[in-house]
Amino acid sequence: MRELRVETEHPYTVHIGQGAVKLLAKRYRDLLAAADQVVVIADSQVAALHLPQLLEALEDFQPKVLQVPAGERAKSAESFMDCHSFLLSENCSRNTVIVAFGGGAVGDLAGFVASTFMRGVPFIQVPTTILAHDSAVGGKTAINHPLGKNMIGTFYQPRAVVYDADFLQTLPENEIRSGMAEVIKHAFISNEGWLDELLAYQNFSEMSGRELEGHLEKGIAVKSAIVEEDEFEGGVRKFLNFGHTLAHAIEAHLGYGKLTHGEAVVLGMAYALELSESPQLPRFLDWAKVNRYPLALLLDMPFSELLPYMKKDKKSTAAALNFVLLGAVGRPYIETILEQRAQAAYDKLRKTIKEMI
Ligand SMILES: O=C(O)C(=O)C[C@@H](O)[C@H](O)[C@H](O)COP(=O)(O)O
């Protein structure tokens, strides 16, 4: 079992390894035993596969379980209110502990619920996807608004992240693709050798469980170092948004859940590389093509339809579009891009994609 400490204002530990969920009752007994109630907010698809393991680990605390829709559909105002209604109807109090069980979406939702229920109750992240190596660490919580992704949320750190690698074994192919996009994002902003290793995958089924755990640990280390430096995103934390300006626009434009977050991030990273005039773009597009990321989707989406969403991105202002670009691998920076240049780069990328698929 590996442990990584995240030294934020309220520090916590990320436990990662097979069977990690079993340590919940031992390592967090004091927190859980002091709670008047333990409430699990679970992704319904994940619950169908793995809830018994979590309930066994928490059996001493007789948790209540609320299942929410799988994926991005969990991050709606309706599901946020359902969570609060559940907590109130179960007579939960400020001494309740929430456990988020599932992928990035349920983690973002449950974290937001935990940060707002009676102005804040403790929560533990139990992520079950590759993508959540990113979202479960760092304390960004959110739900979506039809006009923009993650527009409603807080910074609120979990008490612990318990990342059981056993849960990753049942991930469907599109979830593996989605999660690997955030892994590769961490490599782009930090380390060329690691990026080379990741871009060598022609098919993620070549990757052993041990290799995957290694990549997740590296990703978490990159993420936590940045979060430790800039917990509330005044500066360097924005680099973690590499690829996300376009990705979030695509997700909002298509309707949340139509595309996985990571698939959208791959399209967004290709665009950010084009804007950066990066020599990494051709091999990144080749990698995306062989690993069956939906590059062709960009051909159906005119720039004008995505622009209003990009303007609402949290890094942008009313007057300027701000993107995370890449000087070289490991050297991200923020640049303000004029609309005309943003459009030209988008059209150029679409032309390249059209010629290669
Ligand atoms: O934690 C962060 O900081 C990130 O930016 C990580 C992103 O990968 C994250 O998944 C999310 O999409 C953040 O978007 P934001 O627009 O809510 O900052």
Structure tokens at 209: 């469980």
Residues 6+ positions from 109 with CB-CB distance below 8 Å: 41, 68, 74, 75, 79, 80, 83, 100, 141, 143
Q: Let me know whether 178 and 157 are in one domain.
A: no
240 Cβ closer than 6 Å to some ligand 1 atom:
yes
Q: Let me know whether 140 and 192 are in one domain.
A: no
Q: Let me know whether 230 and 298 are in one domain.
A: yes
263 is catalytic: no
Q: Is 167 annotated as a binding residue?
A: yes
Task: Indicate which residue's Cα is closest to atom 4 of ligand 1.
Answer: 240
Q: Let me know whether 17 and 114 are in one domain.
A: yes
- What is the structure's pLDDT at 332? 98
CB atoms within 10 A of CB 29: 12
Q: Let me know whether 216 and 72 are in one domain.
A: no
Q: Which domain holds residue 261?
A: 173-356
Among 15, 72, 177, 182, the active-site one is 182
Boundary-marking domain end, from 148, 170, 192: 170
CA 123/CA 117 separation, integer angstroms? 11
- What is the structure's pLDDT at 317? 85
Q: Let me know whether 259 and 320 are in one domain.
A: yes
Q: Let me know whether 79 and 132 are in one domain.
A: yes
Q: Which of 152, 228, 231, 240 to mutate to test the pocket of ligand 1 (most atoms within 8 A of CB)?
A: 240
CA 227/CA 241 separation, integer angstroms? 12
Task: Indicate which residue's Cα is closest to atom 9 of ligand 1.
Answer: 135
Q: Let me know whether 245 and 187 are in one domain.
A: yes
119 is catalytic: yes
Q: Let me know whether 22 and 121 are in one domain.
A: yes
224 Cβ closer than 6 Å to some ligand 1 atom:
no
Looking up residue 132, the CATH number of its domain turns out to be: 3.40.50.1970
Q: Let me know whether 161 and 181 are in one domain.
A: no
Beta partners for residue 127, in sequence order: 102
**What ipTM describes this predicted complex?**
0.97
Q: Is 128 annotated as a binding residue?
A: yes
261 is catalytic: yes
CA 220/CA 34 separation, integer angstroms? 29
Ligand 1 geometric centre to CA of 120 (Å): 21
15 phi and psi angles, rounded to 5 deg: -100, 130
Q: Is 209 annotated as a binding residue?
A: no
Ligand 1 geometric centre to CA of 333 (Å): 16
Amino acid making up residue 238? K
314 is catalytic: no
Among 133, 140, 218, 350, the active-site one is 140
Looking up residue 286, the CATH number of its domain turns out to be: 1.20.1090.10
Task: Indicate which residue's Cα is closest to atom 15 of ligand 1.
Answer: 150
Cβ(178)–Cβ(254) below 8 Å? no
Entry pTM:
0.97
237 is catalytic: yes
140 Cβ closer than 6 Å to some ligand 1 atom:
yes
CA 29/CA 239 separation, integer angstroms? 36
Boundary-marking domain end, from 141, 170, 199: 170
Q: Let me know whether 238 and 274 are in one domain.
A: yes
Boundary-marking domain end, from 142, 170, 198: 170
241 Cβ closer than 6 Å to some ligand 1 atom:
yes
- What is the structure's pLDDT at 319? 82
Q: Quote the number of domains for the chain.
A: 2
> In tens digits, what is the pLDDT along the chain, a chain of 357 residues?
999 999 999 999 999 999 999 999 999 999 999 999 999 999 999 999 999 999 999 999 999 999 999 999 999 999 999 999 999 999 999 999 999 999 999 999 999 999 999 999 999 999 999 999 999 999 999 999 999 999 999 999 999 999 999 999 999 999 999 999 999 999 999 999 999 999 999 999 889 999 999 999 999 999 999 999 999 999 999 999 999 999 999 999 999 999 999 999 999 999 999 999 999 999 999 999 999 999 999 999 999 999 999 999 999 887 899 999 999 999 999 999 999 999 999 999 999 999 998
50 is catalytic: no
Q: Let me know whether 68 and 111 are in one domain.
A: yes
